[in-house]
Structure 1
Amino acid sequence: MRVDPCFFCGRPAWPSKGITFMRNDGKSFRFCRSKCHKNFKMKRNPRKLKWTKAYRKNAGKEMVVDSTLQFAARRNVPVRYDRELFAKTVKAMERISEIRQRRERIFYKRRMAGKRAREVAAARKLVAENEHLLPRLRGSEKRRLAELAQETGQDVEELEREELAKKAASKKTKAFGGEVKRLRVRTDGGVEEISERVAGGGLVDEDDDDENDFEDVDDDDEMDTD
Structure 2
Amino acid sequence: MRIESCFFCGRPAWPSKGITFMRNDGKSFRFCRSKCHKNFKMKRNPRKLKWTKAHRRNAGKEMVVDSTLQFAARRNVPVRYNRELVAKTLKAMERISEVRTRRERILYKKRMAGKRAREVASARKLVADNEHLLPRLRGSEKRRLAELAAEQGLEVEELEREGLAAVRASKKSRPFGAEVRRLRVRTDGGIEEIADRTDGSVHGEDDNDVDDNDDEMDTD
Please indicate, yes or no, whether the TM-score normalized by the shorter chain is above 0.5: yes
1:104 has 2:104 as partner:
yes
Displacement of 1:24 in angstroms is 2.0
**Which 5+ residue runs of structure 1 have no aligned equivalent?**
184-192, 196-226
Q: Deviations over 1:47-90 (max 9, x none)?
A: 11111111110000111111111111112222233222222112
Matching residue of 2:190: none
- The whole-number CA distance in structure 1 between the counterparts of 2:131 and 2:152 is 29
Letter in 2 for 1:126: L
Aligned-residue Cα RMSD (Å) equals 2.4
**Which 5+ residue runs of structure 2 have no aligned equivalent?**
180-195, 203-220
| Larger mean Cα displacement after TM superposition, 132-141 or 51-60 | 132-141
Letter in 2 for 1:64: V
Q: Deviations over 1:128-185 (max 9, x none)?
A: 22222222111011012112223333221101012223334555665874566346xx
Letter in 2 for 1:120: V
For residues 175 and 39 of structure 1, do their structure 2 counterparts lie closer, same or farther at Cα, with a shift above 3 Å needed? farther
Any idea what SS the aligned residue of 2:148 has? Answer: helix
For residues 57 and 149 of structure 1, do their structure 2 counterparts lie closer, same or farther at Cα, with a shift above 3 Å needed? same
- The whole-number CA distance in structure 2 between the counterparts of 1:86 and 1:156 is 71
For residues 17 and 169 of structure 1, do their structure 2 counterparts lie closer, same or farther at Cα, with a shift above 3 Å needed? farther
Matching residue of 1:130: 130
Any idea what SS the aligned residue of 2:65 has? Answer: coil
- The whole-number CA distance in structure 2 between the counterparts of 1:164 and 1:136 is 8
Letter in 2 for 1:121: A
Any idea what SS the aligned residue of 2:88 has? Answer: helix
Give the TM-score normalised by structure 1.
0.74
Letter in 2 for 1:161: R
Q: Deviations over 1:14-47 (max 9, x none)?
A: 1122222222222222222222122111111111
Matching residue of 1:20: 20
Any idea what SS the aligned residue of 2:2 has? Answer: coil
Letter in 1 for 2:21: F
Q: Percent identity?
A: 82
| Larger mean Cα displacement after TM superposition, 71-80 or 41-50 | 71-80
